[in-house]
Structure 1
Amino acid sequence: MVKTYHSFLRIVTFLVLTFIVPEVYGEEKVMTLGGKDGWPVLSRRDGVVMGKGRFGYDAVKLDTNSRKTSFMSDLLLDFEGEVPEDACGNYSVILNEVTPTSRCKMGKKGGLIRENNGLRLRGNPGSIFGSENATGSFEIEFWLYPFIAENGEIVFSWRSSRTVSGYSLYQIIRASFYGNRLQWVFTNVFDGFVDNSGEVSISSYRTIIPNTWAHHAISYNQDTGLLEYRINGELEALKYMTTTGKETGGSVYMFQTGVTADIDICPQFSGVIDDFHISRQAVSETLPDFNFDTYRKEGGRFETQPILISQCAKLTRLDAIIDTPEQTDVVFFVRSGDNFFSWTENYPEWIPVTNHEEILNTEGLYFQIAADLYSDGGGKNTPSVTQIDLHYVETPAPLPPFNIKAVPSNGSVTLTWSYSIDNNAGGYYVYYGERPGEYLGREAVEGASPVDAGNITGITLTGLKNGKIYYFAVAAYSKRDSRIMGDLSKEVYARPLNR
């Protein structure tokens, strides 16, 4: 009776260990993205850039609303490089007294100017200021941060001449400070306009505040003759360059450049300039598409590359070092799977997760992390992500089997072994080859090394050559995933013979 009870107890214990005990994961590990080691290449960066975060490390932040080139762009200076250059390739820098500075409105750098010289550009043929012709509509725009805004400081200057009816007419376009306002003067550039000796003046309504960023835009519309000046998108002043001086009832004075001449940007100015842009369209046409907020209010997103964790794992927690100024936010997402080559933009499904909280039901060979970044309602501040720590546990590799034996026969070898004592073992790979420790065999009818023997404790490899010595080892693989393999067993050998 006691013997029967003990047998029953052994059977119950076996069933519990085999079918009831949950699969055991190994100790928790951590993988770090960002921080002192920097960020890996991201698979997606939509509206985000790298900037400075905590401890001076690189951090992911929202991109600013920097001007981008378009087919209508004639000139763009973003001042992001050590030396200013035209992103459109239409102008060459021939004089540069501008110093890069981290004080900027858009991007990472602005152009610092101290009192004299600034920047001189020479236009290539076909550019607005590199050709002698009627240019059509145009817009000159830039961000400006004046230190003083003193009378006589010049922000933009162009001097040329053109010949009309045998007479030479001097041409001037100049933007300078007068009475704490920025005043634009156009002389002999509107063909046929002779009032006031051909000079047109237009200035801001509001006063210019030193040590404050403001966006300035002066534009001319060849269809209506409208010359208008805006600051931060708000209309400051306008004039109709028509024979009636009104929107209707007259013909338009066309904008006409003369002899090719250089343009000077901030030749007499103290302050910072950013995103200087000249376009072949009027401000009224570009305004609906331009946002004066520093950061994109629609937010931005980044996604990591799929991350291989070496063997099947379970993601348990995400700890991110972030900065979220008031009204800003960062939302994290994760997804996982075994074969990322089949992944699409939305498959597998992205699962939202909370920073520092437990993650459930996310496991596989590959993981991918994403984050949505949102600015405040005024577009003045951006959140940042300096570092992400991924906490995970791997499926442990099973222990190798013991008591490996190899018995040779005619053209075959029979291998037997004991079951692995590891409850995670789901089957066995049999390795074989012709040299110790090199299991590159391909002769066996059962397949090339390694042969998947399944969850059994023996196999006969046939089709081997008599007289040749073979070396063997066995490894257990996980019942969760056959790609998770443990260490090899001790090596045994055998020589098939026809006896």
Structure 2
Amino acid sequence: MKMKLGQIGIWCLSFLSYSFASQLSVRELSNGWERGYFSNIQQSQANGIGSILYIDAYNDLPGIELLLNFESSDEYNRAYSHVSGEVTQSNIRARTGLYSAAFSGTNVLILHPHETSIFGGLTEKQNFSIGFWVNPLRLGDGEVLFSYRSSISHADQLIHQSLSAFIEADRIVWRFENIFFLENGEPILIELVGEPILRGEWVHQLVSMDVTRGFIHLLQNNEIVATRYTSADNNAGSITSLPNFQGKKGQELRIGEFFGYMDGFMISRNFIEHSSLARYERQGYYISEPISVQGKILEHISTISVQNDSAEIRILMRAHQSAKVLQSLASDVDWVPVTTDFFKKIHREGLTFIQVRVDFFAGKRSLSSPILHDIKIGYAMNPLPASPGSLRYDREMNVLKVLWQPLMTGNVVGYRLYFGTASGEYFGTLEQGLSPIDIGMEHMISLSGLERGRMYYFALVSYDEYGVESQFSPELAVLF
């Protein structure tokens, strides 16, 4: 698959919504996301839609001015413009995303740095880092992975200037030519040599400069393998030189003059001591406060969100009978993916509170963040058990029998008898216990311990497997 540069990238809007009789809005229940727990998440306002949550993608790579993950055609617009060349995408040997770039030595990618880039020459005191993943298929001398070429005014003439990474034997060499100069004007040729590499295996290279110290180091797979001070004697105590980029005639970046694969090419305006080598990192999360779902049957969950460039939002959930228990749990325990089976478990076990966790994952390009407007939880109200019919009674000596017609509906698993000595106030006590008395599936109960000459009032409810009670039956009044 070949991808021509300069095409317009498409930003896909993921707007998923479902029509339910009722829906819970997590954003509204969280008071515009304010009630909850954040990690690396930012909150903003979106006109007409309400507050949103988002992250700064690739925040572990500071000061990015160019990041090529070779996922789409619009990656080359941050301080660089495309001059020529095509990228051949490969999904077989991808390292940072879905695709890597496959090079054969002839399909060279050429970019032009703008004056705002580190090569523009606007400032001498600019830290910088250049790094990439590479998978060379041959280790012949002269395989050039990356090069910056330009010219510079020196001693009243234009001279060639270059910064390159190339293969020599089985190592990657970084060469700085006519970039650093001594006080007397003499150029310093600086080379940093990596550790041996293997053909056909990925290796990460990162050169990073600290201009304050005049210090450069080379990281290979995030380990320092070479260092150099920009002084004549490579000594920290000597006078060091600053990089001198002027952006003169012939300025260009060339990527891919070799046979193999490349991914995650990056240029940063910062000195980077360590860089993450993970393929796809969690960038942050939001956890809602406990949400009551008592009496509700959860059916579906959906997001109102924007997820571009493989940026991703993942929804997790946990549930309990107690909101306090949920609040006391650590932020990384008991979370499960939201599935129909989990909704059934909530209903089956009578769990009355849920918490929602939203994990944010960065996309493949610089500053590509998922954006979350809201989460909608569709539900139906749990139907109440059928209400019992009228009660009747039978008196035998000091015992009062209360009877009723049993209900035949499927969601009734028992009955409770409420009683007291005032109409509608069921706080009585008898030898069988306090009101209400759980009777199970029986359809009569014998009561003892009643006082002669006192009026008693009774009402019956049925309940379902989750303990949800029906409406009261018609009240039965008995003068004992």
Normalising by structure 2, we get a TM-score of 0.52
2:260 to 264, 271, 284: 271
2:195 to 194, 203, 206: 206
Give the structure 2 partner of residue 364 of structure 1. Answer: 351
Cα pair distance change 1:308/1:111, threshold 3 Å: farther
2:169 to 160, 165, 179: 179
Residue 95 of structure 2 is aligned to residue 114 of structure 1: no
Cα pair distance change 1:117/1:477, threshold 3 Å: farther
Give the structure 1 partner of residue 230 of structure 2. Answer: 241
**How many Å apart are 1:484 and its aligned residue?**
7.7
Residue 77 of structure 2 is aligned to residue 93 of structure 1: no
**How many Å apart are 1:269 and its aligned residue?**
1.7
Cα pair distance change 1:101/1:271, threshold 3 Å: same
Give the structure 2 partner of residue 406 of structure 1. Answer: none
Give the secondary-structure state (helix, strand or coil) at the position aligned to 1:141.
strand
Number of residue pairs matched by the alignment: 321
Alignment of 1:148-187 (within 5 A): 148-187=138-177
- Partner Cα separation in structure 2 for residue 178 and residue 125 of structure 1: 32
**How many Å apart are 1:483 and its aligned residue?**
7.8
**How many Å apart are 1:217 and its aligned residue?**
1.5
| Identity among equivalent pairs (%) | 21
Check conservation: 1:144, 1:271, Cα contact below 8 A: yes
Higher helix share: 1
- Letter of the 1:183 counterpart: V
Give the secondary-structure state (helix, strand or coil) at the position aligned to 1:399.
coil
Cα pair distance change 1:369/1:225, threshold 3 Å: closer
Q: Deviations over 1:222-263 (max 9, x none)?
A: 1222233231233333332124431113x1111010125221
Give the secondary-structure state (helix, strand or coil) at the position aligned to 1:129.
coil
Cα pair distance change 1:344/1:308, threshold 3 Å: closer
**How many Å apart are 1:216 and its aligned residue?**
0.7
Alignment of 1:386-405 (within 5 A): 397-399=384-386
Cα pair distance change 1:308/1:187, threshold 3 Å: same
Cα pair distance change 1:194/1:83, threshold 3 Å: farther
Residue 236 of structure 2 is aligned to residue 252 of structure 1: no
Give the secondary-structure state (helix, strand or coil) at the position aligned to 1:188.
strand
- Letter of the 2:385 counterpart: P
Check conservation: 1:425, 1:479, Cα contact below 8 A: no
Check conservation: 2:182, 2:231, Cα contact below 8 A: no
Cα pair distance change 1:309/1:147, threshold 3 Å: farther
Alignment of 1:227-238 (within 5 A): 227-238=216-227
**How many Å apart are 1:128 and its aligned residue?**
0.7
- Partner Cα separation in structure 1 for residue 283 and residue 463 of structure 2: 43
**How many Å apart are 1:174 and its aligned residue?**
1.7
Check conservation: 1:98, 1:111, Cα contact below 8 A: yes
Cα pair distance change 1:348/1:263, threshold 3 Å: closer
**How many Å apart are 1:309 and its aligned residue?**
8.1
Q: Deviations over 1:62-94 (max 9, x none)?
A: xxxx95465533322233x322615x8332334
1:336 to 300, 320, 324: 320
Q: Deviations over 1:403-432 (max 9, x none)?
A: 9xxxxxxxxxxxxx98856565779xxxxx
Check conservation: 1:312, 1:481, Cα contact below 8 A: no
2:113 to 113, 118, 123: 123
**How many Å apart are 1:152 and its aligned residue?**
1.8
Give the secondary-structure state (helix, strand or coil) at the position aligned to 2:320.
strand
Give the structure 2 partner of residue 224 of structure 1. Answer: 213
Check conservation: 1:311, 1:484, Cα contact below 8 A: no
- Partner Cα separation in structure 1 for residue 326 and residue 173 of structure 2: 55
- Letter of the 1:168 counterpart: L
- Partner Cα separation in structure 1 for residue 78 and residue 382 of structure 2: 56
Give the structure 2 partner of residue 140 of structure 1. Answer: 130
**How many Å apart are 1:182 and its aligned residue?**
1.7
- Partner Cα separation in structure 1 for residue 292 and residue 357 of structure 2: 16
Greater RCO, CA 8 A, separation 6+? 2
- Of stretches 253-262 and 394-403 in structure 1, the one that deviates more from structure 2 is 394-403
